[in-house]
Amino acid sequence: MNTATKQNISYVLRGLVAFLFLLSAVAKMYPSPYFAISTFEMKQLVPLGFPEGIAVYLSRTLIGAEIALGLLLLQPHYLKRVVIPATVALLVVFIIHLLITIAGGGNSGNCGCFGTLLPMTPLESVFKNIVTVALLVWLYKLLPAGSDKGNFFILTTVLFASVLSVFMLAPIRPQSSDTTFEVGAPIPEEMAKDTVSAEVDSITPATENAKSTTTVAPSENKTDDAKVETTAPVKAEVPAGPAPKKTVYSNFFANADKGKKIIALFVPGCEHCRDAAKQMTELKKKNKDFPELQIIFMDEEAEKIPEFFDYAGAKYPYKILDIVSFWKLLGNNKDTPGVLYLWNGNVIKEWQGIEGEKFNPAALAKELNKK
């Protein structure tokens, strides 16, 4: 193979691998940088054991590094000595992580390599990374010794600018919610002590202080207008359904743990969430005893909430939760739309995502008819 052919192949390989890295970085910021990066943190980094305070910086740094490597593969400075080995090392780390994921949880779900733009299973991503490493090794062998230029300032500048640009596109925001709960845990440990007892004397129904007045017919020893009044407290009754429990949802809706309720976790712009809300509106029209629907919206495209209710065909009580807190509440291994059927704070049935566990209106109707 002559020198010109080797050079042409090296250009193609550099362009191809650079494109993959730049596409991966851009995809991790789709459809909006803050939403996508926060989702990447909660679904990829936090489950790996990274604290939230570190994950917010690590996510942006990793994406910035992907942008930097993609750009640096297109320039000649320290290409063979630094850029290619660093790129291979990063891919090897990704491969090891993916293999551990497959060994521990199987090959299901989206690995997050290309965000939600191009979903890939962990095994597909392993194959893609192995092919990319092979291309980089080939590129390394094609480049002649001493071909690198030596301006290290180019590398540091591109890396710093790339990472900084990601931090500027998706600034770190404080969580707007003061609710404290563990990721994916519907009932936090710190709230467990507040669980309501099922004993009759611990429950205060609305009629506990009500008085009953009885009018008795006048006796012979009383005047005609004499009346005898007796008062007696109405006996407290145990509410229907399972023993009451305290859930985190009562932090958002005071009556969430009382009786039958539907708690929905939706994204205003999500088509599947809108469809689920519309299906519940139809169920409500057919069932006069349909439980109250209460919605917790993610603070992503919140301006579309009026449009959401127009599509659903009805308006419902709702709260808006910042993106990170929303994913923590839903659970990092779950997806929207999330729908829970609660009875006295007990989760009777739960649906999530758009695949096997997606919301099923017929299944909800069936559950509501059960005693």
* Share above pLDDT 90 across residues of the chain, in percent, rounded to a whole number: 64
Nearest to 270 by CA among 337, 323, 221, 219: 337
Residue 207 has pLDDT above 80, yes or no: no
Residue 183 has what DSSP assignment?
T
What average pLDDT does this structure show over 156-180? 84
Residues belonging to the chain: 371
Question: Where residue 2 falls among pLDDT bands split at 50, 70, 90?
Answer: confident
CA 357, 363, 364, 370 dihedral sign is: negative
Tokens 């609305």 belong to 206
Residue 217 burial by Cβ neighbours in a 10 Å radius (0-12, 13-18, 19+): exposed
Cα dihedral 200, 201, 204, 210, rounded to 10, equals 100
CATH class for the domain made up of 189-197+243-368: alpha beta
pLDDT level of residue 246 (50, 70, 90 thresholds): very high
Q: What is the mean pLDDT of the chain?
A: 83
Q: What is the pLDDT of residue 182?
A: 39
DSSP for residue 118: S
pLDDT tens for 291-326 read: 999 999 999 989 999 999 999 999 999 999 999 999
Beta strands 260-266 and 338-343 are antiparallel
Contact 50, 40 (CB under 8 A): no
The whole-angstrom separation of Cα 112 and Cα 3 is 39
338 C-beta neighbours (distance < 10 Å), count: 24
The residue-averaged pLDDT of 244-270 equals 94
> How does pLDDT run across 26-65, given as a tens digit for each residue?
999 998 899 999 998 988 888 888 898 999 999 999 999 9
> Has residue 80 got a pLDDT over 70?
yes
The CA-based dihedral angle spanning residues 238, 240, 245, 247, taken in that order and rounded to the nearest 10 degrees: -140
Show Cβ contacts of residue 108 under 8 Å, excluding neighbours closer than 6 positions. 121
Residue 13 has pLDDT above 70, yes or no: yes
Looking at the chain, the whole-number percentage of residues with pLDDT higher than 70 is 82
Q: In sequence order, which residues have a C-beta less than 8 Å from that of residue 174 and are 6 or more positions away?
A: none
Q: Where are the domains of the chain?
A: 3-169, 189-197+243-368
